[in-house]
Amino acid sequence: MRIGVLGTGPVGQALATRLVEAGHEVTMGSRDPDNPRAREWAAGAGDRARAGDFAAAAAGAEVVVNATAGAGSLAALAAAGDLGGMVIADVANALDASRGMPPTLAVPQGDSLAEQIQRAHPDARVVKTLNTMNGDVMANPALVAGEHDVFVAGDDAEAKATVTALLGDLGWPATAVVDLGGLTAARGLEFYVLFWVAVRMAAGHNHFNIKILGR
């Protein structure tokens, strides 16, 4: 599958690397087509890895992974060009740390970044996933001992099935994927990150996740 990963930070790097290892053709996109982090990643990730700007990453892709910082996600996706019909796997959180830690959300209650992306690209198929954990756990669930869950939310069943298959390529078993229904469920998923930050500060590490019991 051809996948565009938008974002050159730790999350984008971790996901892009694992997707290449799973056999996908991956282009890492950034604002600058000569971004040194993206170029360095592509040079070391093998023949199926490429780097370019946001538009180059999205061009010809079957799935676009939004791994940009949430505050810049709408601008990044706008720069990616026409995303009509495309599956957008949104893993970002729009955090505002301008007043220090802990952060707040940049998206008001009653909305979500994923829904803002869907409104900006009404013909795309947005699926919220993976935003409830650290980037290295997204790409390598074995970093957390025992069984734990990953969530998907979106209005298009076929798009969610595509994203679920990619989660399998990252190492998530089908039994770990919890479908929360429509894209409005992204509101809760994104608000959860505030609790995640509190747990991170208390635990002193990132290698934890959620397991739903009793189902």
Provide the CATH number for the domain around residue 182.
3.40.50.720
In order along its 215 residues, the chain shows pLDDT tens digits of 999 999 999 999 999 999 999 999 999 999 999 999 999 999 999 999 999 999 999 999 999 999 999 999 999 999 999 999 999 999 999 988 778 778 888 898 899 999 999 999 999 999 999 999 999 999 999 999 999 999 999 999 999 999 999 999 999 999 999 999 999 999 999 999 999 999 999 999 999 999 999 85
Would residue 209 count as lying in a domain?
no
Note down the domain range covering 139: 2-203
Does the residue 213 lie in any domain? no
Instruction: Note whether residue 210 is domain-resident.
Output: no
Would you say residue 211 lies in a domain? no
Cα–Cα distance for residue pair 116/11, rounded to 1 Å: 21
The verdict on residue 37 lying in a domain is yes
Q: How far apart are CA 189 and CA 151, in angstroms?
A: 8
Does a structural domain hold residue 140? yes
Number of domains in the chain: 1
- Give the chain's radius of gyration (CA, Å): 16
In a domain, 215, yes or no: no
pLDDT score of 99: 80
Tell me, what's the pLDDT at 101?
A: 78
Query: What is d(CA 185, CA 181) in angstroms, rounded to the nearest whole number?
Result: 7
For residue range 80-105, what is the model confidence (pLDDT) as tens digits? 999 999 999 999 999 887 787 788 88
For the question of whether the overall pTM of this predicted structure is more than 0.85, the answer is yes
Q: What sign does the CA torsion over 57, 58, 62, 64 have?
A: positive
In a domain, 61, yes or no: yes
